[in-house]
Amino acid sequence: MIRIYRQLLVAQIQAAAQYRIQAVLWMLFSIIRPVIFLAAWTAVSNAQGGSVGGYTTSDFAAYYIALTIVGHLTTAWNSFEFEFEVRQGRLSPKLLRPLHPLHYSVVENLIWKVTTFLPLMLVCAVIALTFQVKWSGEWWHLVLFVPSIVLAAALSFMIGWVVATATFWLQRINTVNTLLQRTSFIFAGQIAPLSLMPTALQVISYVLPFAYVLAIPAEILRGGVTIERGLLYLVGQAVWLTLAIVAYRFAWRAGLREYSAVGA
Amino acid sequence: MIRYLRMFRAFASTEFQFEMEYRANMYLSIFEMLLVIGTSIGAVLIMFGHTTTMNGWTLPQMIVLLGVYYVIQGGVSLLFSPSFERLMEHVRVGTLDFHLLKPVNTQFLVSTRHLKVIRGADLLLGLIVVIVGLVQVGEQVGIAQALMFALSLVFGWTLVYSLLLGLVTLSFWFVRVENLLAIFWAFTEAGRFPVDVYPLWLRVSLSTVVPIGIAVTAPANVIAGRMDWVAVALLGAGTVLTVSIASALWRWGLKSYTGASA
């Protein structure tokens, strides 16, 4: 398996080297929304005399820059790509290969994140300079952040695959994707840090998986949690990841039986 | 002129018939848009749960702004962006030849030939949001103000059109410009807040490079009482200038088009 992955990695790096500009352009999608909400919250915070519900203007900056990084590192586009592949009949040849299609997208996903990480950090530095950012974390926040971001990226990736399998039944999953994205928009901490949400929405956020992908790693990276809380969050992430993997295995097997190969 | 209007009606009706073939898709589209607009309003409400103003904008004014954002976005995706998507493909494949041979203004043809009728629903939903916001604003909106609002909306829409025309014109030289369009759409998201909340570098790029900032904020500013006739006239002058530049660029770019077999 390691040998296969090494080969896939080399191939994917070569492919990525051809589309450098494109990769950096797509990165903008990870950046724009957090910056927009950061600007808006800065305006709100200024109107309220420099702080809102325990968040100072520079806390907002730290949170949203963390959210940009987390959002970027947890991006997963499998559901869009998979739908396209099924519709175009490109899935069938992939199924004939001895390696599960999931592994190809793991590598694609990883390489894209690795190759765009440096430009992303540059942009984040510019944002940090524009807004007065202040990092209020300890060293152990960074230590906690490492497993947290890995779990978050894996969770987001697996959610993407669960949604992707819906293509077996529905052919077009635009609406499913929109539904998911908008739910994530509300409950993943994109509009506001979770503690600034109305209580009812906060409870829902902690139950649904979306905050475990975005808000929670971002809050850890910002340095906004105690150790106990941070560990508890990691457990929550692990639980959701397990659920997503189980759901995926189940859905994939059932879906393949449904699959009739468009264009075959 | 009447000939062009008749032609446009023919385009619209064929596209409408095409859309009606996919009913289920149409309903899903409307459902998605309701979801998007609903959650966006939710976001604004959550923020205004912590404050009464944002950079001088009150909640009802923000709702108007959000409505304008969806009107502009819906308007552009209704009329221009579907045609421009085809145009890029025509340039790449070389089938623009067929358009050039037709005895009509080519810029008109490539800008209006295709419509995505369903996006008209977005435009209507946006208008409903605007009206809801207006009712909340409470103060009487006079005829003058309504006129200024409509004018600045048209100007804003035209500004975005000229930018898009300029971008797709680049495809004569660079062939693949879908990525530039993707960036444009990414940037439009910034239109959901008034342009004045952004830091300087972003404000400048949102007003000049991607005029979505002006297109959305100007009409909402009229309602907020922050735009007078002079400002609207200036916006109009700027719009005319931008359209002329985009149109000149288009004619210049067309000279670089080499056709299918070349």
For testing the chain A interface, which of B44, B50, B57 should be mutated: the one with the most A CBs within 10 Å? B50
Residue A17 has pLDDT above 90, yes or no: no
Closest by Cα among A95, A81, A74 to A212: A74
Least confident span in A27-31, A59-63, B9-13: A27-31
The whole-number pLDDT of residue B261 equals: 55
Residue B109 has pLDDT above 90, yes or no: no
Query: Which of A33-42, A126-135, B220-229 has the largest mean confidence?
Result: A33-42
Minimum-distance CB partner of A32 among B36, B39, B189: B189
- Please state the pTM of the whole predicted model: 0.89
The whole-number pLDDT of residue B253 equals: 87
Q: Which residue is it, tokens 């991607």?
A: B210
Which ipTM value was assigned to this complex? 0.86
Q: What angle do CA A166, A99, A170 make, to 5 degrees?
A: 10
Answer with the residue of higher pLDDT: B102 or A217: A217
Query: Which of A236-245, B100-109, B161-170, B184-193 has the largest mean confidence?
Result: A236-245
The whole-number pLDDT of residue A156 equals: 95
The sign of the torsion formed by the CA atoms of B247, B249, B251, B254 equals negative
The whole-number pLDDT of residue A261 equals: 66
Distance from CA of B37 to the nearest CA of A (A): 10
Answer with the residue of higher pLDDT: A242 or B170: A242
Distance from CA of A6 to the nearest CA of B (A): 30
Which residues have C-beta within 8 Å of that of residue A148, sequence separation ≥ 6? A216, A217, A220, A221, A230, A233, A234, A237
Query: Which of A199-213, B44-58, B69-83, B142-156 has the largest mean confidence?
Result: A199-213
Confidence of residue A264 (pLDDT cuts 50, 70, 90): very low
| Parallel, antiparallel or unpaired: strands A51-52 and A55-56 | antiparallel
Residue B3 has pLDDT above 80, yes or no: yes
Query: DSSP class of residue A76?
Result: -
Residue A82 has pLDDT above 70, yes or no: yes
What average pLDDT does the segment A135-142 reach?
Answer: 89
The whole-number pLDDT of residue B113 equals: 84
For testing the chain B interface, which of A31, A64, A131, A186 should be mutated: the one with the most B CBs within 10 Å? A186
DSSP three-state, residue A167? helix
Closest by Cα among A61, A252, A228 to A161: A252
Query: Which of A155-164, B6-15, B73-82 has the largest mean confidence?
Result: A155-164
For chain B, domain boundaries = 2-254
Contact yes or no for A179 and B199 at CB 8 A: no
Residue B140 has pLDDT above 50, yes or no: yes
Within an 8 Å CB–CB cutoff, is residue B186 touching chain A?
Answer: yes
Rounded distance between C-alpha atoms, residue A44 and residue A53, angstroms: 11
List of chain A residues whose C-beta atoms are within 8 Å of the C-beta of residue B182: 25-26, 29
Within 10 angstroms of residue B55's Cβ, the number of other Cβ atoms is 17
Confidence of residue A256 (pLDDT cuts 50, 70, 90): confident
For testing the chain A interface, which of B52, B118, B179, B216 should be mutated: the one with the most A CBs within 10 Å? B179
Contact yes or no for B51 and A179 at CB 8 A: no
Within an 8 Å CB–CB cutoff, is residue B10 touching chain A?
Answer: no
Contact call for residues A132 and A61 (beta carbons, < 8 A) = yes
The size of the A-B interface in CB pairs under 8 A is: 88
Residue percentage of chain B with pLDDT more than 90: 29
Rounded distance between C-alpha atoms, residue B146 and residue B151, angstroms: 9
Contact yes or no for B54 and A35 at CB 8 A: no
Residue A24 has pLDDT above 80, yes or no: no
**Residue A200: closest CA among chain B residues belongs to which residue?**
B46
DSSP three-state, residue B58? strand
